[in-house]
Amino acid sequence: MSRQMERAREILAAYDGPKIRVMEVCGTHTHEIFRLGIRSILPRAFEVISGPGCPVCVTPASYIEEAVWLANQDVVIATFGDLVRVPGGGGSLADARAKGGKIQVVYAPEDALQYAIDHPEEEVVFLSVGFETTTPASCLALKKAAEENVKNFSLLTANKTMPGAYQAMAHSADVFLYPGHVHAITGTGLCESLAKEKGVSGVIAGFRADELLTAFVVIAKNYPLGEPFFVNAYPRVVTTEGSPAAVRLIEEWMEPCDSEWRGIGVIKDSGLRLKKDKDRFDARIRFGIPQMEGKTPGGCRCGEVLQGSVKPTGCPLFGKVCSPDHPVGACMVSGEGACSAYYQYGGYINDER
Ligand code: SF4
């Protein structure tokens, strides 16, 4: 262990300040904090809760129902693998595939576009979900589709942006552990203004053990002072201005809209939809998708898990009928989901922090 990490451990071990509820807003943080064993060296006064940071988890059931509806219309659904097993009211995309629906698992929007180019006789819809990190790749695929006049490619959008979520969740946490990769795109301005204008404290954190420990040390040193604070503890990647090119690309193709987050509800201007002049790439318009009901599986408490008000172990289905092999809700399906992390890393044993 490096001297820096040893020092971080010492500082955390010596913490004798007030209790702190720290909310991760990033599924990768949730998993890395477990995987690296960081929970076990945090002070008992630190309560780490998972927020709405997993893109698959926050995508509402109605979106899955739209995708299943499309799969039943002889449209090829190109999607990241996690979404295939998330249940909607009418079953999952895996169920649709079992009934003959065409589901193509891809690793990037560009793969979906390439599939469309290679199969001009098929209509291909890419399921565009995720935060500021992944949205530029969807926009890039659209840009290429427009340049190459690809006529059989469109997006079903459920892209989300973080500012609204931070504000909606501000009451749930004392300090946010902000997602480093989101702010590599957006920069730090939002976090700074949340601290200054709304009194919301937070630290941008990286993903390595030393970076996460540094972020928790920053929290341990600043929170007891009693003033809202913001620190960028991931400066090797996150800059003040972020990535203006990625932001411009998003703004060229998409515009803000109100968006539904699983368990949280509709948050104003927290989503992105295609601009009006890009209608031909909008699967909802192209195929006239009807309004969906958005039924969540009975007994699943993903909504509360995503708000940090219930830990995965507080769900009566956890580990009994719901597991990564047989997931009932989105938070157990996704590799970034809190329920999956608790199950995988034994959070049900060491659950008090
Ligand atoms: S354990 Fe399963 S059923 Fe319970 S909240 Fe998590 S995903 Fe939903």
pTM above 0.85, yes or no: yes
pLDDT of residue 180: 94
Q: Which residues contact 17 (CB under 8 A, 6 or more apart)?
A: 45, 220, 223, 224
Let me know the angle formed at the C-alpha of 300 by 299 and 302, rounded to the nearest 5 degrees: 150
What are the pLDDT digits (tens) for 255-270? 999 999 988 889 999 9
Report CA 116 to chain centroid distance, whole Å: 26
Question: Which tokens sit at 220?
Answer: 């341990």
What is the distance in A from the centroid of ligand 1 to the CA of 211?
A: 30
117-165 residue pLDDT tens = 999 999 999 999 999 999 999 999 999 999 999 999 999 999 999 988 8
Q: From CA 77, how far away is CA 67, in angstroms rounded?
A: 7
Query: How far is the centre of ligand 1, averaged over its atoms, from the C-alpha of 341 (Å)?
Result: 12
Ligand 1 centroid, distance to 326 Cα (angstroms): 11
| pLDDT per position as a tens digit, 101-121 | 999 999 999 999 999 999 999
Whether 331 lines ligand 1, by a CB cut-off of 6 Å, is: yes
For residue range 24-61, what is the model confidence (pLDDT) as tens digits?
A: 999 899 999 999 999 889 999 999 998 888 889 999 99
Distance 262 CA to ligand 1 centre (A): 13
pLDDT-based confidence at residue 347 (cuts at 50, 70, 90)? low
Q: Any idea which residue has 């300040």 for tokens?
A: 17
Residues 86, 225: Cα–Cα separation, whole Å: 43
Max Cα–Cα distance, the chain, nearest Å: 66
If DSSP codes are grouped into helix, strand and coil, which group holds residue 144? helix
Q: Whose C-alpha lies nearest to ligand 1, atom 6?
A: 339
Dihedrals φ, ψ of 264, to 5°?
Answer: -105, -35
Q: How far is the CA of 323 from the centre of ligand 1 (A)?
A: 8
Rounded distance, CA 47 to CA 19, Å?
8
pLDDT at 167: 86
Pick the atom of ligand 1 nearest to 329's CA.
7
CA distance 333 to 25: 18
315 lines ligand 1 (CB under 6 A): yes
**Structure-block tokens of residue 119:** 């199969």
More confident call, 6 vs 96: 96
Return the residue matching tokens 């943080």. Answer: 29
Task: Could you list the beta-strand ranges (E) of 137-296.
Answer: 153-160, 175-179, 201-205, 230-232, 254-261, 265-274
**Ligand 1 neighbourhood includes 173 CB (under 6 angstroms):** no
CB of 87 shorter than 6 A to ligand 1: no
Asked if 54 contacts 30 with a C-beta cutoff of 8 angstroms, the reply is yes
111-145 burial, b at 16+ Cβ within 10 Å, e below that, comes to: ebbbbbeeeeeebbbbbbbbbbbbbbbbbbbbebb
In whole angstroms, what is the distance from residue 36 CA to residue 49 CA?
16
Which atom of ligand 1 is closest in space to residue 301's alpha carbon?
Answer: 5
Separation of CA 124 and ligand 1 centre (Å) = 31
Dump pLDDT digits (tens) for 194-253: 999 999 999 999 999 999 999 999 999 999 999 999 999 999 999 999 999 999 999 999
Confirm or reject: Cβ of 56 under 6 Å from ligand 1. Answer: no
The confidence band for 293, taking pLDDT boundaries of 50, 70 and 90, is confident
